[in-house]
């Protein structure tokens, strides 16, 4: 099938909308992706270091409060702790508004979708209830700059990022033969090593438990400076000697250099190319993707040494990616973001929501749809299969949002018949056109368009 602007916006972007000009060609999509990241500049996220300072202040205050000598001192620290906790939550919600606004208004929808895809590939979660504000800056700094760059660079940025080191327990892993390991009970934690192989690079199959353990030993010493929220290497925690991972020897001197070397090698493995090619095709095109599409992505990944711009270009240029039938179901965030886009809700409206409305209109509904904000439940990230999202509860939540929330976000709802064209373009399903014109009330007309199977798919 040939290129089509509506399919380009819906399948590879964050949807159509009255304020959005859909891409004119696959080449134009790639040109824009290769250019500057205008969306991130217009809608910035706070730096990780700034989020960390707030997080650290809270933790230190909470600790001082627990150790307070007197009731009066304790009460004063409690007031301060509560103030900091509110500030952490306010920062998290401000980031959430910004991230949803980006999905809703970005000119370059493809970049937003790639950021969502790679952030899910390298999924992290908060480690303590107040830690949610660290996730968006991690995505912003370790993932977003690399979506049109090289996979090896993204892998290194992610693996060495303090958020990932904390999330997958690397920050407290100690080599059993290291100076610290020999005189304490602290030991090896294999979490990061396991996920690095299984989820982030080669996928299940080519490695053994021995490879996991060796890689975990190789990673020892890599930890986080809690004071600054920065990556650190502590030689006293590092397992001495060389380690062998997938047949390659690293070391024997511990340090960041052998860790960078193993990451480069893992990024270049053919199994990594195959794993990522399939994952991209499954995410963007079909739960059962065309074999030729996967092969083309894999071949380009290998021939270009993991150049993600080149791989993305193959994805949007391949005929199998342009089938008319929409085989994928939007995730709840993609659904809500594309609905806001179709309704023409601007970033100014979204950024000005107060914290209560951010929860009521956006984050709570996403949770009932099955996508609690930044909490996929495991490092595996959100599921891909349509069946995981299209359950009675989750669909009820999508319908309920479509019927009730647009009128709380927009003073004047669009005519549903216009919304069909804005949201679905010239190929809108006939039954959706019919239903849009048959509703008794404006809000229900808008609701049935957004709740339609045609709009829920991409």
Partner 1 sequence: MAQLTRRGFLGALALGCSAAASPLVTPVVFASAPWESRLVVLILRGAMDGLDAVRPVGDPDYAALRPALGQGGLPVGDGFWALHPALEPLLPLWQAGEMGAVHAVSTPYRDRRSHFDGQDILEAGSGGSDIEGVRDGWLNRMLGAVPGVRAETAFAIGRENLLILSGPAPVSRWSPDARLRLSPQARRLLEIVHHEDPLFRAASDQAIAIVDGLEAEGMERGGGGGHVRLAEFAASRLRGDTRIASFSLGGWDTHFRQAAPMAQALGRLSETILTLREGLGPVWSQTAILCLTEFGRTARENGTQGTDHGTGGAMLFAGGALRGGRVVTDWPGLDEASLYAGRDLSSTRDVRAHAAWVMRGLFGLDRGVLEGAVFPRLEMGADPGLVL
* Site for partner 1, rule CB under 8 A: 66, 74, 126-129, 169, 189-191, 194-195, 198, 329, 364, 367-368, 370, 372, 375, 377-378, 380, 386-387, 390-397, 399-400, 403, 429, 431-432, 434-435, 438-441, 444, 447-449, 451-454, 456-457
Residues 6+ apart with CB under 8 A from 152: 263, 264, 267, 268, 305, 306
Nearer to partner 1, 169 or 354 (CB): 169
Q: Where are the beta strands (DSSP E) in 152-250?
A: 222-225, 230-233, 243-245, 248-250
Cβ atoms of 429 and 371 within 8 Å: the answer is: no
What's the min distance (Å) between Cβ of 357 and partner 1? 18
Whichever of 180 and 395 has its CB closer to partner 1, that residue is: 395
| Residue 3 near residue 329 (C-beta atoms within 8 A) | no
Of 98 and 371, nearer to partner 1 (C-beta) is 371
For residue 427, give the DSSP letter: G
Smallest separation (angstroms) from partner 1 to the CB of 392: 4
Nearer to partner 1, 36 or 129 (CB): 129
Q: Are 339 and 449 in contact (CB under 8 A)?
A: no
Q: Mapping DSSP to helix (H, G, I), strand (E, B) and coil, where does residue 282 land?
A: helix
Q: Is 335 exposed, middle or buried (0-12, 13-18, 19+ CB in 10 A)?
A: buried
HSE, CB side, 13 Å, CA atoms: give it for residue 405: 26
Cα angle value 199/297/308 (rounded, 5°): 70
The residue among 27 and 128 lying less far from partner 1, judged by its C-beta, is: 128
Nearest distance from residue 454's CB to partner 1, in Å?
7
Q: Closer to partner 1 at the Cβ: 127 or 260?
A: 127
The Cα 221–Cα 239 span in angstroms is: 8
> Whose Cβ is closer to partner 1: residue 324's or residue 348's?
324
CB of 275 to partner 1, least distance (A): 17
Instruction: State in angstroms the smallest separation of the CB of 457 from partner 1.
Output: 8
**Least separation in angstroms between CB 261 and partner 1:** 25
Supply the minimum distance, in Å, between the C-beta of residue 186 and partner 1. 10
**CB-neighbour burial class of residue 112 (10 A; exposed 0-12, middle 13-18, buried 19+):** buried
């Amino acid at each position: 099938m040939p290129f089509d602007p509506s399919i380009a916006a819906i399948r590879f972007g964050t949807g159509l909308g009255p304020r959005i000009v859909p891409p004119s060609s696959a080449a134009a999509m790639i040109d824009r992706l290769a250019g500057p990241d205008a969306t991130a500049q217009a809608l910035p996220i706070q730096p990780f270091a700034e989020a960390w300072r707030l997080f650290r202040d809270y933790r230190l205050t909470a600790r001082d409060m627990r150790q307070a000598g007197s009731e009066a001192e304790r009460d004063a620290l409690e007031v301060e702790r509560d103030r900091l906790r509110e500030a952490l939550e306010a920062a998290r919600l401000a980031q959430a508004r910004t991230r949803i606004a980006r999905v809703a208004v970005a000119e370059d929808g493809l970049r937003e979708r790639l950021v969502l895809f790679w952030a899910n590939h390298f999924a992290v979660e908060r480690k303590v209830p107040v830690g949610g504000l660290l996730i968006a800056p991690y995505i912003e700094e370790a993932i977003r700059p690399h979506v049109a760059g090289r996979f090896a660079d993204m892998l290194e940025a992610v693996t060495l990022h303090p958020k990932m080191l904390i999330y997958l327990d690397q920050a407290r892993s100690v080599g059993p033969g290291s100076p610290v390991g020999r005189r304490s009970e602290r030991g090896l934690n294999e979490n990061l090593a396991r996920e690095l192989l299984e989820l982030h690079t080669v996928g299940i199959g080519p490695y053994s438990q021995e490879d996991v353990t060796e890689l975990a030993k190789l990673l020892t010493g890599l930890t986080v400076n809690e004071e600054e929220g920065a990556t650190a290497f502590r030689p006293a925690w590092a397992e001495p000697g060389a380690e062998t991972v997938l047949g390659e020897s690293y070391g024997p001197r511990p340090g960041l250099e052998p860790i960078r070397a193993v990451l480069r090698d893992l990024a270049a493995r053919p199994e990594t190319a195959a794993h990522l090619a399939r994952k991209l095709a499954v995410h963007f095109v079909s739960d059962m993707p065309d074999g030729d599409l996967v092969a083309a992505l894999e071949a380009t990944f290998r021939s270009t040494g993991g150049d993600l711009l080149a791989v993305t270009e193959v994805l949007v240029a391949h005929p199998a990616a342009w089938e008319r039938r929409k085989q994928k179901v939007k995730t709840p965030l993609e659904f809500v973001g594309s609905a806001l886009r179709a309704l023409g809700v601007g970033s100014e409206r979204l950024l000005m929501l107060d914290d209560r409305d951010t929860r009521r209109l956006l984050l709570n509904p996403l949770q009932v749809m099955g996508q609690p904000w930044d909490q996929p439940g495991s490092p595996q990230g959100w599921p891909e299969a349509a069946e995981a999202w299209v359950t009675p509860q989750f669909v009820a939540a999508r319908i309920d949002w479509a019927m009730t929330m647009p009128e709380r976000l927009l003073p004047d709802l669009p005519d549903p018949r216009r919304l069909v064209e804005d949201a679905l373009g010239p190929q809108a399903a006939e039954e959706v056109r019919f239903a849009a014109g048959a509703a008794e009330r404006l809000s229900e007309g808008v609701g049935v368009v957004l709740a339609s199977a045609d709009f829920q798919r991409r």
